[in-house]
């Protein structure tokens, strides 16, 4: 099961019409993602990273090509694909447990069953004790934990994350990366993350998709084979970082050294 493709992106292109002009965001984009993988997508600003995962989610439709989930064409949002945005998007008037409960799709569940499911998600994301808190009473990182819990409440096959930690401070961001890695290992969902943070991509991923400038396409795929604990200062980690920089900036060694 783990070696089967759960998602196929086949020659996907996306063209937007802005007034009387046409803008091509993506061209000839192809990829296969296996069940249980953690994929990160990195690339220049405006290269179509977020457009791609919005099409995976069914929120956007390709101009040509197709995206298939377990062999079935994705044409609209489905409960099998969850999505987390950069903003927490919690309802400010609802408690954390009610925000998470709101995401439950199975309305036939009894109140006690919903409570058990919500408590499981709250414990999973490390928010035990904050069930009755309002979003405004929590830090940005804790709000995103609640968003992740709501995104996982229906046990989706794939969880999409569009820059979920982009607005957080560096310390909170690193903490959330560790929490997300723990959740992925426990829940075994397939995760697809859009990020501008190369270290974040390496720390979390099994593979990293490198996108070209607009019109974007997946121009390189880098395997992340880090054994044991993911040490950001290890030679293996730094070597992968250099490979990503090379893929992004080509032979511009001065620019690569600056970022390293």
d(CA 145, CA 160): 14
Residue 231 banded pLDDT, cuts 50, 70, 90:
confident
Distance (Å, whole) CA 238 – CA 258: 14
Task: Report how far apart, in Å, the C-alpha atoms of 170 and of each of 2, 60, 167, 174, 195 are.
Answer: 33, 31, 9, 6, 14
| Nearest C-alpha neighbor of 194 from the set 182, 211, 214, 174 | 211
pLDDT for residue 13: 96
Summarised one tens digit per residue, pLDDT across range 30-70 is: 999 999 999 999 999 889 999 999 999 999 999 999 999 99
Judged against a pLDDT cut of 70, whether residue 216 lies above it is answered with yes
The model's confidence at residue 225, banded by pLDDT at 50, 70 and 90, is confident
**Mean pLDDT within 100-105:** 90
pTM to 2 decimals?
0.91
Please report the pLDDT score of residue 77 as a whole number: 92
pLDDT, position 251? 63
- Per-residue pLDDT tens digits for 126-168: 999 999 999 999 999 999 999 999 999 999 999 999 999 988 8
Residue scoring higher pLDDT (34 or 4): 34
Residue 228 has pLDDT above 80, yes or no: no
Give the separation between CA 11 and CA 18, rounded to whole angstroms: 23
Phi, psi of 10 (to 5 degrees): -115, 105
- In terms of pLDDT, which residue wins out, 108 or 134? 134
5-18/21-34 β-pairing: antiparallel
Q: In what order do the strands lie in the sheet with 218-223?
A: 81-84, 158-162, 190-194, 38-42, 207-211, 218-223
7, 29 contact by CB (below 8 A): no
Q: pLDDT band at residue 259, thresholds of 50, 70 and 90?
A: very low
Give which of 148, 35, 31 is closest to 85, Cα–Cα.
148
Can you read off the two tokens belonging to residue 171? 């310390």
């Amino acid at each position: 099961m783990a070696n089967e493709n759960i998602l196929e992106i086949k020659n996907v292109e996306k063209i937007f019409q802005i007034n009387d002009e046409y803008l091509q965001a993506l061209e000839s984009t192809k990829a296969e993602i296996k069940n249980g993988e953690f994929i990160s997508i990195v690339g220049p600003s405006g290269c179509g990273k977020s457009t791609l995962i919005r099409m995976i989610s069914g929120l956007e439709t390709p101009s040509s090509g197709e995206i298939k989930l377990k062999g079935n064409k994705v044409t609209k949002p489905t409960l099998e694909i969850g999505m987390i945005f950069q903003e927490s998007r919690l309802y400010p008037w609802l408690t954390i447990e009610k925000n998470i409960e709101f995401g439950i799709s199975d309305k036939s569940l009894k109140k006690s069953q919903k409570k058990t499911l919500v408590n499981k998600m709250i414990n999973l994301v490390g928010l035990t004790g904050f069930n009755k808190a309002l979003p405004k009473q929590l830090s940005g990182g804790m709000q995103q934990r609640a968003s992740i819990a709501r995104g996982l409440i229906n046990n989706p096959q794939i969880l999409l994350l569009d820059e979920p930690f982009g607005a957080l401070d560096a310390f909170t961001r690193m903490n959330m990366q560790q929490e997300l890695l723990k959740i992925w290992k426990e829940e075994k969902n397939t995760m697809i993350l859009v990020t501008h943070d190369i270290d974040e991509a390496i720390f979390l991923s099994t593979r990293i998709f490198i996108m070209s400038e607009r019109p974007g396409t997946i121009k390189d795929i880098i395997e992340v084979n880090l054994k044991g604990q993911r040490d950001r200062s290890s030679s293996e980690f730094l070597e992968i970082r250099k490979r990503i920089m090379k893929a992004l900036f080509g032979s511009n060694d001065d620019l690569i050294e600056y970022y390293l």
